[in-house]
A and B are shown apart, each in its own frame.
Chain A
Amino acid sequence: MTTKPKHHKTTKKDLLQLYRDMLLIRRFEEKAGQLYGMGLIAGFCHLYIGQEAVVVGIRDAMAEGDQMITSYRDHGHMLACGMSPRGVMAELTGRSGGYSRGKGGSMHMFSVEKQFFGGHGIVGAQVPLGAGLGLANKYKDNGQISVTFFGDGASNQGQVYEALNMAKLWDLPTLFIIENNQYAMGTSLARASAQTELYKRGESFGVKGIQVDGMDVLAVREAAKKAAKHARSGKGPLILEMMTYRYRGHSMSDPAKYRTREEVNEMREEHDPIDMVKARLLKEKWADLDDLKALDKEIKTIVNDAAEFAKTSPEPDPSELYTDVLLEVEA
């Protein structure tokens, strides 16, 4: 990653909001990691720490009613969509107060209200699903776009290319966001991909791609705004390759021995999406250290409240085992 952050135009209000949204995700994920460590969250738990600028920048460029869909690394996306920290955290602990009433877990949450379509555990699966949401938009002619997030690892899946082909063939109002965090579990991009410039992956179908510094929330937002306009105007899909990085292991049980501490520290210290915004806020004098400390405190309170809720919300009632398998046919 060589791109130095460009000086994108913004306002005090906007930048503070972006900062806040990213910080909420960071603190939420740190708390989730802690609850996992305490045995309150089980199974697989994939943290988004380091990648916050991607979803926050993109969500800010989306319109009300646009749909979002992603993989199992989904907590940040849900918070960015405005889903409640309490409901997300309680799903992580498998409690009745969770978005899926404890039946989905970390990888499987949905919100019809916030137009968040999951939360998918099988690598690549969300990509045709996201294109399908785009098809529905076009069919209904509702002016919305769908936005699909997937990883560098997922970008090698065959179904991605089938989806890209149809998305362009039918000019579906949809965006494909590749979150290139350089690794798929323990496999670096170069060890899995013959062609590592992922934004070019749509070329043979005529789907244009752009590479973006995914650690710079303003760069992300700029690119996403243009892309959303393109998709919404009926010109079909685009690919945005977000160059980003995950600080933690793939999931909680990954010791991450396939990369060096120095590499992680370099990203953290030189490219942290939250620190970069913080520096700009201070430089523009849009906030001082005390303001930011107070904000951090406020966010911590929200996250602690979510954790408390997630600890105390009761387990689902045993009768829940049999609900939601099929719907009754209405007479």
Chain B
Amino acid sequence: MAIDIQMPALSPTMEEGTLTKWLVKEGDSISSGDILAEIETDKATMEIETIDEGVVGKILISEGTQNVKVGTVILQLLEDGEGIDVLSAPASPEAVIEKVDEPIVLAPVETQSHQVIETVAPVEMDIPSGTAMIETSVRDALRDAMAEEMRKDDRVFIMGEEVAQYQGAYKVTRELLQEFGPKRVIDTPITEHGFAGIGVGAAMGGLKPIVEFMTWNFAMQAIDHIINSAAKTLYMSGGQMRCPIVFRGPNGAASRVGAQHSHDYSSWYANVPGLKVVAPYDAADAKGLLKAAILDPNPVVFLEHEMMYGEMHDVPDLENYIVPIGKALVRRVGSDVTIVSHSRMVGRALEAAEILATEGISAEVIDLRTLRPLDTDTVIASVKKTNRIVCAEEGWGQSGIGAEIATRVMEQAFDYLDAPPARVFQKDVPLPYAGNLEALSIPNAQDVVVAAKAVCYKD
């Protein structure tokens, strides 16, 4: 029987790719380990190997074809002694193959929320009218922020695993090595405790390090230096010793990477005096807040979201676009209920607000942007108007960001509340690997809708 070789998924997020080049032709004998073709995915160009032996029967997708869906049969392989006549039409009718000349535009993960951002104008941003907007990915916005600050101040440098030669494990530091050289873009061994400490020491010594953690999960090895060495030093030295450093990287659940790689540390770092903690949602904030973080004289913990890196948003085309740390943003104005969230959850809150609107509930959506210091004023002002609040976050509930917000609202606006605050958060279990269980664990827009209706006493 001929073997159908399919377009493989080569990354956790890949849905389709370009078949850039065939390295075999019909009639070639191949065996396990031979390279069949080059494929361009959403992240990189990869080679695909065969694990089977045989003769290349038919090549079904020609070189240069874009948007080839994962699972499409791309080649049929003949086993020992088979002739070409055994080949029949491949059995994957659902795969649509189009040859297009346009560049590939990968669908953003959350198209819904993306649209919401475009239609509801942000309320508090200080952007001069007429400013041009450039569609930028969150990934590139972060990169641009670092590059701009590195150009301005040669004390700024970046260190971390795979940040230089590999161009970043998630490509956030792409091309920084080329521009700034190995003195300022430094690859480290896999020694988080050590290099976080070296970063803190360099900051004490007058530099402005950006320390990238491949993910925040691994910064658990470095948390001693982040808290004991960076956060507490100014205080312990009676204000003498400064530590201007940015710790950054992706935080929270990615996709199907299991419990040890899917932890949201928002509330952990937000608990610590001496730190500033930032968790942006869109590309403009990612850029403006990261620049503010690099300029800040304090240690800043900067929590990104891997699932947001590829999302495209408008970024103002301004010389020096800075978003101040410590100010929340009202992303959607409403009158019936306040929804407070941060990072990727903002997208889900906006989605929920859209759904609620169709049911006659007007939701105000606040993006906290900074978790320490918390912009309580913006939240309280909103609650005084709506009299109801839902706190939504991706992390666990106990001692979480929502718990803190709810407490502050009760302390400062108790008399304005028409319902007890509601919280939406990750299920109280380590994140499971199985697809169905993972989906059950992480809060979605529907969970926010349900909570909002509950505080509005609607069904």
Contact = CB atoms under 8 A, between A and B. Distances in A.
Nearest to B254: A43
B169 A39 contact: no
Given A124-B190, A185-B169, A43 B255 contact: yes
Interface string A50-74: 0000000000000000000000000
B94 interface: no
B9 A38 contact: yes
B258 A123 contact: no
A316 B254 CA distance: 20
Interface string B427-458: 11110111111001100000000000000000
B162 A37 contact: no
A142 interface: no
Q: Dominant SS at the A interface?
A: loop
Interface string B1-43: 0000011111110100000000000000000110100000101
B414 interface: no
A237 interface: no
A325 B428 contact: yes
Interface residues of A, number: 57
A30 to B, nearest CB: 4
A121 B437 contact: no
Interface residues of B, number: 58
Contacts of B11: 252-253
Contacts of A255: 44-47
B435 A94 contact: yes
Contacts of A30: 32, 51
A185 to B, nearest CB: 6
B191 interface: yes
A187 B166 contact: yes
A268 B41 CA distance: 26
A94 B190 contact: no
A7 to B, nearest CB: 27
Given A33-B51, A103-B433, A185-B161, A158 B193 contact: yes
A169 B440 CA distance: 47
B429 A36 contact: no
Contact of A43 (B12, B161, B218, B220): B12
Interface of B: 6-12, 14, 32-33, 35, 41, 43-49, 51, 70-71, 161-162, 165-166, 169, 187-191, 193-194, 217-218, 220-221, 254-261, 427-430, 432-437, 440-441
Given A94-B433, A122-B221, A122-B260, 5 more contacts: A42-B255, A107-B261, A193-B189, A315-B436, A320-B432
